[in-house]
Amino acid sequence: MNCIKFVDRMAQGRVARRDMIRAAAAFGVGVTAMPVHVRASDQITVFEWSGYDIPELMPGYAEKHGSPPDFAIFASEEEAFQKIRTGFKCDVMHPCTYSVYQFKDGGMTVPVDTSKLSNWPNVIPALQTAEGVVIEGAVHMVPTDWGNSSVIYRTDMVDPAFQHDESWGILFDETYAGKIAPSDGESNIEIAGLLIGLDRNQIFRMTDEQLEQVRPLLEKQAKIARFYWSDPSEFGQAMAAGEVVAAYAWNEAVKSLTEQGIPVKYANPKEGIFTWLCGLSALNTGEGDSAMVHDFIDAWISPEAGKFLIEEYGYGHSNKVAFEIASPESLAALGFSTDPSEMLADGILFQPLVGELNDKYVNFFNDIKANAAI
């Protein structure tokens, strides 16, 4: 979830220090991503994805509290989790339904009092009660943004037949050896699970035998992949150049590549499309004021923030009014159903990998990568 065309911009000499920190964060390098200014003790600290630290996504907050919150940037929830666990002080964090449990189990989240959120009544009802939003009867994550994960491909460079038979299989297809870019993560295991016919729940809790069944697929993928991406700008650049013809991607990529005039399409794979839902969690690890935390979250779920997210980033938003005020072209360009409840029902919602399961998946994928490298 990142809309920085980093390399492009660097080539144009427009990369600022801020962008460097973001990019660094994206590769797990800038784990020390520092708040931009010395912490004014009366501001809250928000731990965010890169690209989400802009005032347009929290309209009214800075006006009310004198300044935007202090931001720190992370690239993956695991990294953020480790950092908070080792003492990083922050008041708000931006997890997703599949990762929020870790924070909840780690005793870091505090339930949000939705009665203090003026925009809560306009939050799409299906999201208000989604699994991961409500945990053990309390709202631990206020839903904000949602979208898909699927295959993006170059229509001019992929066999035309594929357009009528879109499949995750393209990410494992030797025909495109050296021209595919999966993401650097365990989602590859889940996708391979879909390909060997496991059901959409089982792929998140595969047995050892099932893992062994997908091993050949993943080993093949490791051999034919150009690279595993960690930051969307990587495959964006490569796709624009024609170096990569198919990649794992979030919705936002379609919008930005199309705007560059690259003929790409966002697939609706026959095995199913992934859905993610993310939101804001209030944490007890910071020193900020709880009322300010609520104001911040409330600003994020406002219709104006939603309009911006839809129009500029191409993601869905949790406030239903946002869809009414967003421009029709941008809604069309989203390329997926604008009805979140339908989408949440149709798509394969990412499920948390917790504890041993996470270990198993991560080590299995490490194994695949290491074996390919040796």
CA distances from 77 to 29, 66, 200, 205, 352 (A): 14, 29, 22, 20, 12
Interaction between residue 291 and another protein (CB under 8 A): no
Rounded to whole angstroms, how far apart are CA atoms 318 and 340?
8
Nearer to another protein, 337 or 358 (CB): 358
Number of residues in contact with another protein under rule CB under 8 A: 51
Rounded to whole angstroms, how far apart are CA atoms 307 and 327?
8
Strands 274-283 and 109-110: antiparallel
Interaction between residue 81 and another protein (CB under 8 A): yes
Nearer to another protein, 336 or 364 (CB): 364
User: CB of residue 27 vs another protein: minimum separation in angstroms?
Assistant: 6
Nearer to another protein, 79 or 131 (CB): 79
Q: How far does the chain reach from its first CA to its final CA, in angstroms?
A: 31
User: CB of residue 82 vs another protein: minimum separation in angstroms?
Assistant: 6
User: CB of residue 254 vs another protein: minimum separation in angstroms?
Assistant: 21
Rounded to whole angstroms, how far apart are CA atoms 152 and 280?
28
Select from 75, 373, 27, 350 the least CA-distant residue to 186.
350
Stretch in the footprint of another protein (CB under 8 A) among 139-147, 183-191, 245-253, 273-281? 183-191
Q: Which two tokens stand for residue 223?
A: 């051999």
303 to 342: interface string for another protein, x by CB under 8 A: ----------------------------------------
Interaction between residue 93 and another protein (CB under 8 A): no
Interaction between residue 344 and another protein (CB under 8 A): no
Name the amino acid, one letter, at 173: D
User: CB of residue 151 vs another protein: minimum separation in angstroms?
Assistant: 18
Alpha helices by DSSP H, listed for 225-350, are 232-241, 251-259, 290-300, 303-308, 320-325, 328-333, 340-346
Interface residue list for another protein (CB under 8 A): 6-7, 10-11, 15, 20, 23-24, 27-29, 76, 78-79, 81-82, 85, 102, 105-106, 178, 184-186, 222-223, 225-228, 230, 237-238, 241-243, 354-356, 358-359, 362-363, 366-367, 369-374
